[in-house]
Amino acid sequence: MKRLTREDVYNAWVSSMSMCGSLFKSIVKELGMAKALEMLAKQGEPFGDELGKVLKTQLGGKKLDVKALNKAIMPMMSSYGTDAEVKENPKSLVLKISKCPQYDGFKMAGLDHETIGKMCSAMSKAEYASIKSHFPELEGRVKFRESPNGVCQEEFLIK
């Protein structure tokens, strides 16, 4: 059996995110943007919960640090075909994401840049809240790309 390349994985995620984006547009038509964003935000919770569980397992009771955080996050990012430039600081991990299957899939579904930003922000906030339930000292924030060709910057801070 042929092993999927990173590009194959990326393209599969773009297609699935395109379907998610189309569904989102239908929900907006039926229930409005606020309710659609509320519903979409809940999709960030499982990612944050999974990251928290992976970190706890990897740490085995040790204190959270940036290296452990990077070791847990990067395989998850790679599983989506996402390209991220990573910078480890003493108390934070910064990811610069240029090639994002979520963004490209939502764009493929016909969603505009501003709406995609709202979608990503809603999901990210839920993800960070979920991670915090495992690690109260860990905070996340995202700076959404300024233009469709820009990069998103996600930062995880250990307080």
CB 44 within 8 A of CB 125: yes
In the chain, which ranges are E strands?
83-88, 92-99, 138-143, 152-158
What pLDDT score does 2 carry? 80
Length of the chain: 159
What pLDDT score does 76 carry? 84
- Scanning the structure block, which residue is given the tokens 């999709």? 43
Report d(CA 141, CA 13) in Å as an integer: 23
CB 92 within 8 A of CB 155: yes
CB 9 within 8 A of CB 80: yes
- Scanning the structure block, which residue is given the tokens 């499982």? 46
| DSSP letter string, 7-39 | HHHHHHHHHHHHHHHHHHHHHHHHH-HHHHHHH
Closest by alpha carbon to 49, among 154, 152, 126?
126
95 - beta bridge partners? 86, 154
Q: How many CA atoms lie within 13 A of 69 on its CB side?
A: 27
User: Which domains, from first to last, does the chain contain?
Assistant: 6-158 (3.30.1380.20)
Main-chain dihedrals φ then ψ at residue 156, nearest 5 degrees: -115, 125
Three-state DSSP class for residue 109: coil
**Tens place of pLDDT per residue across the chain (159 aa):** 788 888 899 999 999 999 999 999 999 999 999 999 999 999 999 989 999 999 999 999 999 999 999 998 988 888 888 888 999 999 999 999 999 999 999 999 999 999 999 999 999 999 999 999 999 999 999 999 999 999 999 999 999
Please indicate, yes or no, whether the overall pTM of this predicted structure exceeds 0.95: no
DSSP assigned state of 143: E
